[in-house]
Amino acid sequence: MSSKFGFILVKPQLGENIGACARAMKNFGFSKLHIVEPKINFPNHKAKATSVGAYDIINKAKVFNNIQDAIKPFNLIISLSARRRDINKKNISLKEFQKIIKRRNLNLGLMFGPEASGLSNKDLSFSNYILQIPTSPKFKSLNLSHSLTVICYEIFKSLNDKKIKNNELNLKVSSKSKISSLLAHLISLLEKKDFFIPKEKRHSMILNINNLIYRLEPNDKELRILASIISTLSKK
């Protein structure tokens, strides 16, 4: 069951925090760790020291140059943020989160941002949902490893609580790899049609398209229909 979940650390700054994250993951039976553009050389002795025996997770952690590649194995991405953002993404509660993680056919990636700044709006554009851990409004920011530990506990508790039932168990969502390929094709076609005008707004327009496409939860059949529609509309 724990293989259905992976943890994605985006631009972590401290080896100690990566090690503490690995330790928390092992405490609750998780092992899949993806690291995007770490700000330090990885793996390093500080990460291994603070992992306190979770060396297997440190050694098997995969390092990526960008978020797109890091999320490809997953079919749903939930990002953690200490504050609400002005972007078109659904913010979910822990109660809603507990329902999502009970789905069958789930391969969920949980994404965490850098210690100092958290995830950017561009980073969040690759998510389906945004989750904010409830904390005191006077001091909302959690340490990276503490935040990950809370999420590990919530998943562990939910999956081991036989009283919790979920009515959305059979939802099978396409992988982010397939969605990413569709998005790249769509942007390429839009480029050829001179859609991104004026040029200075190209970045924000692509960000909005990312937000739209990545928050969808299509199955493979629905994705093929969408790809067919895009291809048909692109023909002269």
What pTM did the predictor assign? 0.76
The full set of domains in the chain, from first to last, is 2-159 (3.40.1280.10), 176-234 (no CATH)
- Residue pLDDT, tens place only, 88-113: 888 999 999 998 998 888 999 999 99
User: pLDDT tens digit string along 55-88?
Assistant: 999 999 999 999 999 999 999 999 999 877 778 8
Confidence at residue 32, expressed as pLDDT on a 0 to 100 scale = 97
Work out the mean pLDDT of the chain and round it to a whole number: 88
Per-residue model confidence as pLDDT tens digits over 209-233: 888 888 888 888 888 888 888 888 7
Per-residue confidence at 162, pLDDT binned at 50, 70, 90? low
Q: pLDDT tens across 123-138, in order?
A: 999 999 999 999 888 8
Distances in Å between the Cα of 5 and the Cα atoms of 48, 71, 120 are 22, 12, 22
pLDDT of residue 120: 92
Predicted confidence at residue 166, as pLDDT, reads: 46
Residue 58 CB partners (closer than 8 Å, separation 6+):
18, 19, 22, 33, 43, 47, 48, 51
pLDDT of 152: 96
Q: Which residue has the tokens 């609580």?
A: 161
Read off the pLDDT of each residue in 147-156 and give the average, rounded to a whole number. 95
pLDDT tens for each residue of 167-196: 445 557 788 888 888 888 888 888 888 899
Q: Determine the pLDDT at residue 38.
A: 94
Q: What is the pLDDT of residue 167?
A: 45
Per residue in 15-34, pLDDT tens?
Answer: 999 999 999 999 999 999 99
Q: Which of 34-43, 153-162, 202-211 has the lowest mean pLDDT?
A: 153-162
pLDDT of residue 177: 87
